[in-house]
Structure 1
Amino acid sequence: MAHLTSRRGLLFGTAAVSAGALLAGCTSNESDSDDAAANDRPAADDKPGKKVTIGFAGPQADHGWLNAINENAKSRAGSYEDVTLEITEGSNDTAQQIGQIETLINKKVDVLVVLPADGKALTQVGLKAMRAGIPVVNLDRIFNSPQAYRCWIGGDNYGMGLNAGHYIGEQLKDKKNARVIELAGLDNLELTKQRTKGFDDALKNYPNIEKVARQAAEFTVESGQAKMAQLLQAQSKFDALWNHDDDQGVGALRAIEQSGRDDFLMVGGAGALSAFQAIKKDDGVLKATVLYPPTMAASAIDLARALGQGKGVSGLAEFEIPSSLTLYSAVVDKANVDQYMSTGFK
């Protein structure tokens, strides 16, 4: 079928025909479900369809969660016969990542998935891709302009803090004059501020609980150990600790073990395999962790494939994939840790 409009026109909403009608007419392998047929709408599925080349520009894997992002993307792409993944060497250097993305644009990939080193700094290259007719799936760190991406998918930093606060609140709700402390991440990042705000807002529901200390670390094992040691020295008595990141939590747990203290509960953040294993073993202070799931990279590949094949999302009535998807920050404790063990990152 001849396209009635350009790819650029579709991306920016200037098509002369409805995107839904065009996608329905041009899809090579529509879903066989009665629901999809009834709506005359192609839905994403696992059956091989139109071949799609996805360009992936991710981060430098210098942190467990970031490495898991890259691995989830590669693994998901490899599970599809109709997907070819053009993956760049991960970089935290803005100029280098812009160059890598421009190379993918010049290769004329069908769709781009980008986790920017700096969302603000990479907004222009996102716009460049969109204007070239290449839809962009913006992963987690958001571009400054919604015109720079077709779909954003990422974690809920505020919700992460909120759920950590409610979990701790429920554990301590019957304890008088309960005291909690917070081991945050990098304070110059907006995500850290959002996590702290969510945590503080949740604790407002528990008037018996006071946050008595907060220390910012750097999302590394070494900083987690050093900053936790300072907190332990300064706070002779507290009932709960929320640590923003399971990687720095490895260091925090070392400091706790060295102190010999076990008179409080700890809640982590992100979903590292080591945290899940410690929660399951249940012989230390770590009792739960709040997810910031790196599986979002696999879902980004799913969305990119659907875009490349002109499909919607199975289970939704709309012809198009959503413009944004915020993942839920589930609390994982001993009761449900087995369910999440396979998603834990190293």
Structure 2
Amino acid sequence: MPTPPLPSRRGLLFGTAAASAGVLLTGCTSNENNNGDEGGTRRADTAQDKPGKPVTIGFAGPQADHGWLNAINDNARKRAAEYSDVTLEITEGSNDTAQQIGQIETLINKEVDVLVVLPADGKALTQVGLKAMRAGIPVVNLDRIFASPQAYRCWIGGDNYGMGLNAGRYIGERLRDKKNAKVVELAGLDNLELTRQRTQGFDDALKNYPNIEKVARQAAEFTVESGQAKTAQLLQAQPSFDALWNHDDDQGVGAERAIRQAGRDEFFMVGGAGSRHAMEAIEAGDGVLEATVLYPPTMAASAVDLARALGQGKGVGGLAEFEIPASLTLYSAIVTKDNVEEYLPTGFV
């Protein structure tokens, strides 16, 4: 799973759209320079759907050993295929740092126009990001951030702290009138910074609801098997509670399995990341899963948009600046039965 920057919120906050991966650059509407705008300002050129200068984008990500990571690759490929002026050079993907560095160096040697990199380890791959930038190849750093801002031209990624915050707010509002409400948390890998950020956001949100107590927490491993085992432990230890927040929809499949086997339904569950399975379960409304907090893999499609804009020397539609921003943090929207149809097309398998 991704590891974004600490929740200091550098740069702008952008919301993700429901049905289109390209919303970040939606409106990338015109190549015209309008020197006669009122107020004497000139509009920045923006990337847009009409073909422009050909751009070769090198894409390097980690091994797609998780539904979300597989969706990252799919979103990048599909977005690039929409542009007749984009050629995507995509690597096989690896969780081995040395191998991924080698793959990126190959793309640098091929002299691609722009690089999009989701590093398996942001700190370990910082030097190869710096190498690309020094070679004149702008880097779009996707989600897991490099250790130096000099290693990328633009960062785009999700908001793990915001995931926890919004999950906590949703649960808090649902339970605000219940006395002595109890919640439990099924986290991800505790050795990952992203897990700590999600928990911190959740805990911070719950501080605003003094009637709610978090009575238990288990850390799973982002797998179905770990989700089932750790949820079974939570259920055995807690004979009754009101809500469960699960950090990851893949491990949530196992959590749902454990809940069904235990015959428990006195609580509701909020998931994380936004899998298609979770959204379909929310839509069906026949289980405990009531909502999920997005960590949208559509960010890879938007990264391709940004890379194309960089390669063509364009800005972002709807913004006055001539250049694309240095940092874009996606919003962690809450998907419920009320809006699931809108978000379902973005659900990953």
Comparing both chains, which one has the higher relative contact order based on Cα–Cα distances under 8 Å and sequence gaps of 6 or more?
2
Aligned amino acid, residue 301 of structure 2: A
1: distance between equivalents of 2:96 and 2:125?
11
Aligned amino acid, residue 41 of structure 1: A
* Paired position in structure 2 for 1:244: 247
| TM-superposed deviation, 1:39 | 1.5
2: distance between equivalents of 1:176 and 1:114?
48
Q: Which has the larger radius of gyration?
A: 1
1: distance between equivalents of 2:321 and 2:273?
31
The aligned runs of 1:1-346 (5 Å cut-off) are 31-32=31-32, 39-346=42-349
| Alpha carbons of structure 1 residues 231 and 137: separation in structure 2 relative to 1, 3 Å | same
| TM-superposed deviation, 1:142 | 0.1
1: distance between equivalents of 2:32 and 2:290?
45
1: distance between equivalents of 2:30 and 2:346?
30
| TM-superposed deviation, 1:291 | 0.1
| TM-superposed deviation, 1:30 | 5.6
1: distance between equivalents of 2:36 and 2:99?
43
Secondary structure of 2:80's partner?
Answer: helix
Aligned amino acid, residue 72 of structure 2: I
1: distance between equivalents of 2:35 and 2:213?
52
Q: Contact 1:59/1:70 (CA < 8 Å) preserved in 2?
A: no
Secondary structure of 1:99's partner?
Answer: helix
1: distance between equivalents of 2:80 and 2:129?
21
| Alpha carbons of structure 1 residues 247 and 53: separation in structure 2 relative to 1, 3 Å | same
Secondary structure of 2:217's partner?
Answer: strand
1: distance between equivalents of 2:86 and 2:301?
13
Across the two proteins, how many residue pairs are aligned to each other? 318
Q: Deviations over 1:3-51 (max 9, x none)?
A: xxxxxxxxxxxxxxxxxxxxxxxxxx96248699761421111110000
Q: Contact 2:281/2:287 (CA < 8 Å) preserved in 1?
A: yes
1: distance between equivalents of 2:64 and 2:168?
29
Q: Contact 1:36/1:43 (CA < 8 Å) preserved in 2?
A: no
5+ residue gaps, structure 2: 1-28
2: distance between equivalents of 1:105 and 1:251?
41
Normalised by the length of structure 1, the TM-score is 0.90
Aligned amino acid, residue 211 of structure 2: N
| TM-superposed deviation, 1:221 | 0.6
5+ residue gaps, structure 1: 1-28
Aligned amino acid, residue 183 of structure 1: L
2: distance between equivalents of 1:36 and 1:235?
67
Q: Contact 2:168/2:205 (CA < 8 Å) preserved in 1?
A: yes
* Paired position in structure 1 for 2:20: none
| Alpha carbons of structure 1 residues 309 and 282: separation in structure 2 relative to 1, 3 Å | same
Aligned amino acid, residue 277 of structure 1: E
| Alpha carbons of structure 1 residues 282 and 33: separation in structure 2 relative to 1, 3 Å | farther
Q: Deviations over 1:171-210 (max 9, x none)?
A: 0001000000000000000000000000000000000000
Q: Contact 1:65/1:345 (CA < 8 Å) preserved in 2?
A: yes
Identity score, percent: 81
2: distance between equivalents of 1:36 and 1:173?
54
CA RMSD of aligned residues (A): 1.4
Aligned amino acid, residue 324 of structure 1: S
Q: Contact 2:63/2:92 (CA < 8 Å) preserved in 1?
A: yes
Secondary structure of 1:49's partner?
Answer: coil
Aligned amino acid, residue 42 of structure 2: N
| TM-superposed deviation, 1:90 | 1.0
Q: Deviations over 1:287-311 (max 9, x none)?
A: 0000000000000000000000000
Secondary structure of 1:129's partner?
Answer: helix
1: distance between equivalents of 2:226 and 2:36?
51
Aligned amino acid, residue 31 of structure 2: S
